[in-house]
Structure 1
Amino acid sequence: MVRDAARNDLYLLHARDLSATLLQTFCEIPSPRVGHASAIVSSVLIVWGGDTKTDPKSRQDDKQDDGIYLLNLLSKEWTRVTVSGPSPVGRYGHTVTMAHTSKFIVFGGQVDGQFFNDLWSFDLNSLRSRPQWKLMEPTSSEKPAQRTGHVCINHGDRIIIFGGTDGHHHYSDTWSFDLTTRKWSELTCIGFIPASREGHAAALVNDVMYVFGGQGIDGKDLNDLAALRLSNQRWYIFQNMGPAPSGRSGHAMASIGARVFVLGGESFTPTEPEEANYVHVLDTSTYI
């Protein structure tokens, strides 16, 4: 969303010099949207979901776009995948992650006031035969509450989620889903557990999940940085680390090696006009 208008442009950020390039793409380009999610595997960018009914003139009974879009990063060509069988309903505010090399996993999100805690998997290997989604029914009775605006990362045979909201409550819980046993379990974390929030972002470095920002229970933007070491389930917080990104939500985070990048987002706190264009880089090599 740029100046209250949804976009479908695509930029490439160069980590070496922090420059950005607008990519010209072709074929079945996804329509403008917000609240979507994406992942990269090999030379393919995968985009799914998002609020595609941002135009007030659009028909209210139109469904959200539930198509899977693949971008070949070499040829710059988009393909909309035709799937068979059951599939997740179109939504926004969900999270996606790649697991076991080829599995594109979707969790949670919302649409039209309804919140989700379902977990779906799309195996890219099925593109060779019969593309289809699979609902990953948990074998455990306990599972995370329905939510949107959470974060999700993959670590080995598990996916980890933290935070989010169901429209009434904000969460600070941390859950693990074992992809082999298909069992959810809430992690009993220790240390400085971050406050409840939504709209935050996360990135993984080795076995540490870094979390930044989001909106708190009071609706104020957060600019705190926390980290969860997955091996001992301990949360850490960081202070007095020099110039830091302003409080924000809806931003993006990514890691390359030991560096974590923070870009974009929305802030209701007055900041410098150029702040939205800044790329903030955290070198984690000297921490935990």
Structure 2
Amino acid sequence: MYWTVHLEGGPRRVNHAAVAVGDHIYSFGGYCTGENYRRQRPMDVHVLNTVNYRWTAIPLIKPDDPQSLCVPYQRYGHTAVSYGDKIYVWGGRNDEAPCNILFCFDTKTLKWSCPKVHGIIPGARDGHSACVIRHSMYIFGGFEEEIDRFSRDVHALNLETMEWRYIITKGNPPSYRDFHAASAVGTKMYIFGGRGDVHGPYHSQEEVYSNEIIYLETLTSTWHCPATTGKIPPGRRSHSAFVYRNNIYIFGGYNGIEDRHFNDLYCFVPDSNHWIQIKTQGKRPCERRRQSCCVVGDRVFLFGGTSPYLGPQLPMAPDNEDMPLDGLDSKLMDHSDLHVLDFVPTLKTLCLQVVIDKRLEDSWLPRDLRWELQAMTTNNNISRPLNNTG
């Protein structure tokens, strides 16, 4: 595995939600230090072309546009999943309140809608997880502000019938938590990490960070906690989890007890319940949390997130209660970077990487290779919006 691309200039976002559809990655919402998250405004959508590494911003809906009634407000701590050409955004909050309305973004028309749902709708929350198994979106955990407690409930939305169901499970469920990660492998939903509390569902500031991996077999609605072997990652929250060839990968995150950010990479193999700490080639991203990771083909695209403040080059998050920084005492910086991890880099990719790393002369190379080198080394500028032609 090789970290091949590192570009700046994309959307500076933290605690956003992103999902891949085809060769494009769609990133929804999130926050950035200095912005106002008390007033409601339309959610921003940024699109990454994974062929040329260029970001574009979809124009925001104007208040007098009839479609504005179906556009989610800007938020953080929400989830996004894809089903066909459509992306479903659920949950999350701004600084005033959480939300439990389902929104649908059509990647063909670039338009929002509010699908009519029925059944037992989950309570508004943020910091939950979501993944798609068969025809349903499964929701687990999060923090429900209305009842002021962590959750460990499971809800499922049938994306064909738009019916919500509360799933009555068997076995021992994961502890109450938020900002964990859920990964779908076959018919199983794997849960790892997250922030809990020694008092169970109640938030007392006595945090717990589990490093167990637990899965729900959705065919039987039964929880299982397998005995694992290998190099087990430390407990954490606000990390990224992604699936590649039926294995689950964990990157980054934060442990509040140790006040520690991570930039390590672990692989969990469900077939053997074995953990492996992965050693990658190339320059890996710095320690961070609340970034996004999306798999496209044999590559992982990582972007955004927040880290301990290391220098004057990026905005610093102030220590005040108005920002959604979980009461951290340390100063943080928000990222606008993009990193690409290639699972099986081709010989051509490795050669291009040598040209970049050694700053070799490239004028003699064929035009298509020079174009690839330019795409891999030119920082982004997303000030020009993507035209909405739908």
Q: TM-score, normalised by structure 2?
A: 0.66
> How far is 1:231 from its partner?
1.4
Give me the whole-angstrom Cα distance separating, in 2, the residues matched to 1:228 and 1:80: 36
Q: 1:4 to 1:104 in 2, by over 3 A?
A: farther
Give me the whole-angstrom Cα distance separating, in 2, the residues matched to 1:240 and 1:139: 39
> How far is 1:4 from its partner?
4.2
Structure 2 residue matching 1:49: 3-state secondary structure: strand
Question: Do structure 1's residue 123 and structure 2's residue 161 form an aligned pair?
Answer: no
With 258-267 and 89-98 compared, the bigger mean Cα shift is at: 258-267
Higher-strand-fraction structure: 1
Which residue, 76, 82, 94 being the options, matches 1:40? 82
Aligned residues: 272
1:81 is matched with 115
Query: Letter of the aligned partner of 1:163 in structure 2?
Result: G
Higher relative contact order (CA 8 A, sep 6+): 2
> How far is 1:239 from its partner?
3.3
1:144 is matched with 174
2:53 is matched with 18
With 206-215 and 105-114 compared, the bigger mean Cα shift is at: 105-114
1:221 and 1:269 in contact (8 A); partners too:
no
Structure 2 residue matching 1:228: 3-state secondary structure: strand
1:197 is matched with 236
Query: Letter of the aligned partner of 2:343 in structure 1?
Result: T
Question: Do structure 1's residue 222 and structure 2's residue 281 form an aligned pair?
Answer: no
Question: Do structure 1's residue 279 and structure 2's residue 338 form an aligned pair?
Answer: yes
**Within 5 Å, which residues of 2 pair with 1:155-170?**
155-167=185-197, 168-170=207-209
Q: TM-score, normalised by structure 1?
A: 0.89
> How far is 1:19 from its partner?
0.9
Question: Do structure 1's residue 267 and structure 2's residue 297 form an aligned pair?
Answer: no
> How far is 1:122 from its partner?
0.5
2:9 is matched with none
Structure 2 unaligned spans of 5+: 1-30, 62-66, 198-206, 316-333, 346-390
Question: Do structure 1's residue 257 and structure 2's residue 297 form an aligned pair?
Answer: yes
1:226 and 1:238 in contact (8 A); partners too:
yes
Give me the whole-angstrom Cα distance separating, in 2, the residues matched to 1:31 and 1:178: 34
1:114 is matched with 149
Give me the whole-angstrom Cα distance separating, in 2, the residues matched to 1:157 and 1:285: 27
1:71 is matched with 105
> How far is 1:270 from its partner?
1.4
Question: Do structure 1's residue 178 and structure 2's residue 217 form an aligned pair?
Answer: yes
> How far is 1:25 from its partner?
6.0
Percent of residue pairs identical = 24
> How far is 1:103 from its partner?
0.7
2:252 is matched with 213
1:25 and 1:78 in contact (8 A); partners too:
no
Give me the whole-angstrom Cα distance separating, in 2, the residues matched to 1:180 and 1:4: 45
Structure 1 residue matching 2:77: 3-state secondary structure: coil
1:30 is matched with 72
> How far is 1:256 from its partner?
1.3
1:103 is matched with 136
1:150 and 1:200 in contact (8 A); partners too:
yes
Larger-gyration structure (1/2): 2
Query: Letter of the aligned partner of 2:89 in structure 1?
Result: V
Query: Letter of the aligned partner of 1:77 in structure 2?
Result: K
> How far is 1:194 from its partner?
0.2
